[in-house]
């Protein structure tokens, strides 16, 4: 039986610094109100949870529960109306290279080659040219795209594009990887492959990962803990520990139990 934590359980974030360059995240009473036409819309209300350094946490919820808004607030791309986000104890006031961000639609720079996309963030770091080059090589190797380094994004498949996007976000060595439905736009087989690869990357880099998805099975496959959200207003319904040993198999009864539990929480039925 899975252990369940009732939120809010946000840490104070001050001690949330990992030993291997991974950071903890504290989401503290975050709210977001949009001034809609007519009545203001409460997209997020009192969302609190913590992510330990090196932990893999998924946020799942029905559409309209504000997961993407929450993702953008954590990434520093959108301001919260209330509350705050702390990464490694420091309040987030805007995007930083401490967070690697991966979007659903890849958003590669189409005018840059694979190699140049991966190196984009490095150009603004204080690394030497030789270091940058080595880092790009490492990242291309990590996602298995070395032989496509000179290709333009247009010629790549969706799965390959997302690998480039992941390599690009990891290249600057962020403490936290933030992902918004990164595998939502690829076919099922590619998705499973990318999930395995992401777990490998996570295991080999030790990064903290905060992963937003609407796919419950995906969350159970990946996460140490799942933040289950409810809609109207977007809020934390429950936080579920996934006590299933890795690698996780979909046929495993414990896997199915967790999926059923999370589905029930978001009201999607068993």
Partner 1 sequence: MATDTGREFDGSGLQTGLGLDDPRRLLRGAAGLVGFVALWYLLSLTQPAIVLPSPVAVAAEFRGQFVSGTMPDALASSIRHWVPGTIAGTGLGVGAGVAFAWSGLLDDVTAPLVRVLRPVPPLALIGFAIAWFGLNHAGAAFIIAIGGFWINFYATYGAVEEVSEDLIDVGRTLGVRGDLDMIRSVVLPASLPGILTGIRTGLGRCWMLVIAAEIFSVPGVGREILRASNNLRVDRAIAYIFVLSLMYLVVDVAFRAVQRRVLAWQA
Under the rule (CB under 8 A), what is the footprint of partner 1? 75-77, 94-95, 97, 99-101, 103, 105, 107, 109-113, 120-121, 123-125, 152-154, 168-169, 172
First to last CA, the chain: 16
Tell me the closest approach of the beta carbon of residue 241 to partner 1, in angstroms. 29
User: Is 165 or 228 the residue whose CB approaches partner 1 more closely?
Assistant: 165
For 182-220, the DSSP string reads: TTTTS-HHHHHHHHHHHHHHHHHH--EEEEEES-HHHHH
Of the pair 198, 226, the CB lying nearest partner 1 is at: 198
- The CB-of-143 to partner 1 minimum distance in angstroms stands at 16
Residue of 180, 35, 55, 42 whose CA lies nearest to 106: 180
Give Cβ neighbours of residue 103 (< 8 Å, ≥ 6 apart): 165, 180, 182
Residue 134 CB, shortest distance to partner 1, in Å, is: 18
Q: What minimum distance in Å lies between the beta carbon of 175 and partner 1?
A: 13
**Side-chain-facing half-sphere of 60: CA atoms under 13 Å:** 29
């Amino acid at each position: 039986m899975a252990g369940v934590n009732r939120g809010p359980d946000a840490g104070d974030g001050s001690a949330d610094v990992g030993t291997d360059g991974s950071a903890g995240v504290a989401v503290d009473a975050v709210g977001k109100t949009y001034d809609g036409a007519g009545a203001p819309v409460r997209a997020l209300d009192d969302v609190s949870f913590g992510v330990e350094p090196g932990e893999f946490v998924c946020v799942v919820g029905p559409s309209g529960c504000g997961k993407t808004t929450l993702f953008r607030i954590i990434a520093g791309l959108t301001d919260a109306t209330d509350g705050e986000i702390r990464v490694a104890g420091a309040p987030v006031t805007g995007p930083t290279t401490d967070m690697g961000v991966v979007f659903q639609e890849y958003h590669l720079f189409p005018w840059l080659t694979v190699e140049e996309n991966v190196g984009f963030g490095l150009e603004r770091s204080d690394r030497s040219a030789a270091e940058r080059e080595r880092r790009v090589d490492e990242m291309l190797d990590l996602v298995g795209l070395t032989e496509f380094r000179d290709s333009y994004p247009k010629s790549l498949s969706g799965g390959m594009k997302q690998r480039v996007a992941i390599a690009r976000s990891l290249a600057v060595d962020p403490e936290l990887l933030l992902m918004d439905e990164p595998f939502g736009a690829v076919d099922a087989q590619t998705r499973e492959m990318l999930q395995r690869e992401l777990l490998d990357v996570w295991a080999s880099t030790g990064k903290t990962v905060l992963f937003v998805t609407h796919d419950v099975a995906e969350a159970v496959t990946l996460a140490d803990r799942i933040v289950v959200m409810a809609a109207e207003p977007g809020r934390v319904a429950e936080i579920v520990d996934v006590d299933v040993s890795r690698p996780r198999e979909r046929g495993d009864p414990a896997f199915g139990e967790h999926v059923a539990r999370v589905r029930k929480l978001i009201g999607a039925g068993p």
